[in-house]
Amino acid sequence: MKIVADDTIPFLKGIAEPEAEVIYLPAKGFTPEAIRDADVLIVRSIDKCTPALLSGSSVQLITTATIGFDHIDTHYCETHGIAWENAPGCNAPSVGQYVFASLLALALRRGETLEGKTLGIVGVGHVGREVERLASTWNMRILRNDPPRAEAEGQKGFVSLEEIATESDIVTLHVPFTREGRYPTYHLAHAEFFQMMKRGAWFINSCRGAVHDTEALIQAKKSGIVGGIILDCWENEPDISPELLGLSDLATPHIAGFSADGKATATRMCLEAIERFFHIRFSRLAEVTPPAPVCPEIDLNGFADHRVARAFLQTFNPEIVDKRLRNNPSQFEYLRNHYDHPREPKAYRVRNATTDEQKLLEKMGFHAG
């Protein structure tokens, strides 16, 4: 078997080689000539699987180490006998960690509390549910908007997009990017949406850049409708808007799903898809594991205040990444590709927690005690 894989996929090298020949290529190296005799492709979102790339190749299966699959021409694949699989949910805990850490960081910066605030979640799939789980530990009121789920499960528990806008103190987007179909998400957060928002509300986009309208968001921030912006996803990446960057409170280069745990899960899911498709076993699959954190123990006695919040920010601090992007906005893609993947809370043990803190920490995924 011949596998052609993106050379930036973590924890992959050396795992499949006992059972397959593996060629590692940079994104620019994915050419028709390079993949012509491949049986399998293992790709990221930057690797565009188009008819121009795939035509005339021997590719039977494409696996992508991402939840999204808009970089794969699925219609072409399905009409030309090429199977494909994505990795749904692989980075949900990582995006949840990003969103909640960003909320905690901004709240601490402003001297506010998240407790009691209303969080409007647009898109309540794998990621949205993880965001809801973390926010619920902080006693936030949750509003959910997900038309496909509401249609399938009933309206109970879901609200309209208008209600999300008018009632939420914080709006966070977790939808796939689609231009067509019954529920297109292109510019879902448009000028009319921002006009409906509660004045001073915070806005978060960590799904896809084009789900928000850049110019509309800029005007909403300048007019004071939007009081805070947390952005990981941008229109026209990597050429992001300098004006929107300057107006954002926390800005990062599309790394929300990039925890080491999420990356390992995605790589493992790609290999498991290959195993199922070709009825083989990779003998080294169990070795796809992230390294331990540099400091796997967090001592709450090291914090003077907001101990649990600061412990969570030890696992991921968005302000560090934010500073790097602001200092080098033209290096968006470099910063994304050379990101130091953090571990999720489950990789840490927290010491010196009170009984109440221990309960909260464990709900958030830590080992405490």
Residues annotated catalytic, as ranges: 208, 237, 254
Contacts of 227 (CB under 8 A, 6+ apart): 199, 200, 201, 202
Cα(218)–Cα(224) distance, integer angstroms: 10
Q: How far apart are CA 266 and CA 314, in angstroms?
A: 24
**Cβ within 8 Å of residue 111, ≥6 positions away:** none
Residue 75: Cβ within 10 Å count: 9
User: SS3 of 349, please?
Assistant: strand
Q: Which amino acid is at 18?
A: P
| CA-CA-CA-CA torsion sign (328, 96, 229, 311) | negative
- For residue 138 the two structure tokens come to 């902080």
Q: How far is CA 118 from CA 79, 140, 172, 314, in A?
A: 45, 6, 11, 25
CA distance 288 to 275: 15
- Name the packing angle between helices 92-110 and 307-315 (round to 10°): 130
Paired tokens of 317: 């601090």
Other beta carbons less than 10 A from residue 313's beta carbon: 20
First and final C-alpha spacing in the chain? 48
Q: Which residues of 259-281 are buried (b: 16+ CB within 10 A; e: fewer)?
A: bbbbbbbbbbbbbbbbeeeeeee
How far apart are alpha carbons 231 and 223 in whole angstroms? 18
**Measuring CA to CA, which residue among 45, 11, 25, 8 is closest to residue 238?**
45
DSSP summary character for residue 212: B
48 and 68 in contact (C-beta within 8 Å)?
no
